[in-house]
Amino acid sequence: MPTIQLDNLIKRYGEVEVLHGIELEMADNEFTVLVGPSGCGKSTTLRMVAGLEDVTEGEIYVDGKPVSHLEPKDRDLAMVFQDYALYPHMNVAQNISFALRLARRPKAEVHAKVKEVADMVGLTDFLHRKPGALSGGQRQRVAMARALAKDSGIFLFDEPLSNLDAKLRGQLRAELALMSQRVEKNMIYVTHDQIEAMTLADRIVVMHGGYIQQQGSPEALFKRPVNKFVAGFLGMPPMNFLNGEIKEEAGDVFVKGNGFSLRLQDEKAQAAKAHRVREVVLGVRPSDLVFDAEAPSDQALTLDVMVSEYVGAQSVLLCQCGADQVTVEMNSETPMALGQTLRFRITPNRVHLFDRESEDAIQSK
């Protein structure tokens, strides 16, 4: 299936520039997720790929060929919209087969295809219903089936699950993951839900304010975020940030802040030493803090537990560290009382350092 390349894409609405040079390459059969907060330009990027939005500057290449002058129908793509965008006056079968009928495919082929994709998404019993007589989840499946029936190489999704309730969303997300393994397509998926992004993506592209912040595999982005925005955006509950300063004492490198003094190890120490700026932000994920009363004080945070949010097997503790709030994720079985002051060991090498000024990550190259 085709490769897609976005070359320095710029989008302006009148005077306002909303995308500032998007550079992206998507390989064969890749599931790319564009993720970012509301208004960051995800939909705009996707709609430019689809041809629903004009390209102001730059170019889109599909298999090396520029396509930005082509109509949507000539771009070999299918799209699933956030509001489903079904044709209200056609029944499910007609919705699914619309593209095939426009292409004047033989009746038997159309029929077979409708049956095949309806089976795939579990709509066989609803083929004669109009969209108005379907539930939200069923409509979403029709939208999916309609896109699948087209058999095009590129598959675009614009927040397809965001109008559904949490349970249904989880279920459809799993089905989508399954489907993406079965069909060989190049998929671009827009969402602002980072769980969808992490679970579905081969490659995540984090966008913010019309810029790409970082792209890579979910694991790479989670483990080595390049800046504070990406670090804070991915992961639930979000990463804790504490202001601190780099200090060198007797050959060791410390991050010191209000209520903590942490000795950096190995690679982190190297990077911090090489970096000239002393004012930093320390980032620690809630899951990297482990309750351990015996931990050495330069490898731990001492926190006052304020609130405990029980969410089943895990609990989320809201704690105080100096003037800052810190969340900790821990096993609910651990006995614990509110108001206690406890010590949490930081998993070695799982701390993140950011330049307080530029917010870029401080890491060895």
Partner 1 sequence: MRIAVANRLTPYLFMAPAVVIMAIALMYPLGYMIWGSFRDWSPSQTIGEAEFVGLKNYVTLWGDPNFWESLSVTLTFAFFVVTLEMLIGVGLALLLDRNIRGMSVLRTLFILPMMIAPVVVGLMWRYMYHPTVGTFNRMLDSLGLPTVDWLGNHALMSVIIADIWQWTPFIFILALAALQSLPRSALEAARIDGATAWQQIWHIKLPLMMPVLIVTGLLRLIDAFKVLEVILVMTEGGPGLSTEILALRISRTATEFRELGVAAAMSNYLLILLLALTLAMFAFTRLQEARAARIRAAVEEES
Ligand X SMILES: Nc1ncnc2c1ncn2[C@@H]1O[C@H](COP(=O)(O)OP(=O)(O)OP(=O)(O)O)[C@@H](O)[C@H]1O
Q: Residues 84, 139: contact at Cβ < 8 Å?
A: yes
Q: Which of 43, 214, 215, 327 binds Mg ion (CB under 5 A)?
A: 43
Size of the site for partner 1 (CB under 8 A): 29
On the CB side of 206, how many CA atoms lie within 13 Å of its CA? 22
Round to whole Å and give the CA distance between 123 and 21.
41
Q: Give me the 29-48 binding string for ligand X, x by CB under 6 A, dash otherwise.
A: -------x-xxxxxxx----
Closer CB to ligand X, residue 44 or residue 227? 44
18 binds, among ligand X, Mg ion, partner 1, none (CB under 5 to 8 A by kind): ligand X
39 binds, among ligand X, partner 1, Mg ion, none (CB under 5 to 8 A by kind): ligand X
Closest CB to ligand X belongs to which residue? 43
Closest CB to Mg ion belongs to which residue? 43
Closer CB to partner 1, residue 122 or residue 296? 122
Q: Residues 316, 259: contact at Cβ < 8 Å?
A: no
300-310/211-216 β-pairing = unpaired
Closer CB to Mg ion, residue 43 or residue 95? 43
**Which range binds Mg ion by CB under 5 A, 37-45, 69-77, 146-154, 283-291?**
37-45
In the chain, which residue ranges form alpha helices assigned H by DSSP? 42-50, 92-102, 107-121, 136-149, 166-182, 194-200, 218-223, 228-233, 266-274
Round to whole Å and give the CA distance between 140 and 172.
9
The verdict on 208 binding ligand X (CB under 6 A) reads no
240-249/279-284 β-pairing = antiparallel
CA 346 to the chain's CA centroid: 26
Q: Which residues pair with 255 in a beta bridge?
A: 246, 262
Round to whole Å and give the CA distance between 296 and 246.
19
The verdict on 169 binding ligand X (CB under 6 A) reads no
What angle do the packed helices 92-102 and 136-149 form, to 10 degrees?
20
Q: Which of 14, 64, 65, 88 binds partner 1 (CB under 8 A)?
A: 88
Closer CB to partner 1, residue 139 or residue 208? 139
Give least dist CB 16 to ligand X, A: 6
243 binds, among ligand X, partner 1, Mg ion, none (CB under 5 to 8 A by kind): none
The footprint of ligand X (CB under 6 A) covers 13, 16, 18, 36, 38-44, 192
The footprint of partner 1 (CB under 8 A) covers 50-52, 71-73, 77-79, 81-89, 98-99, 102-103, 130, 132-135, 146, 150
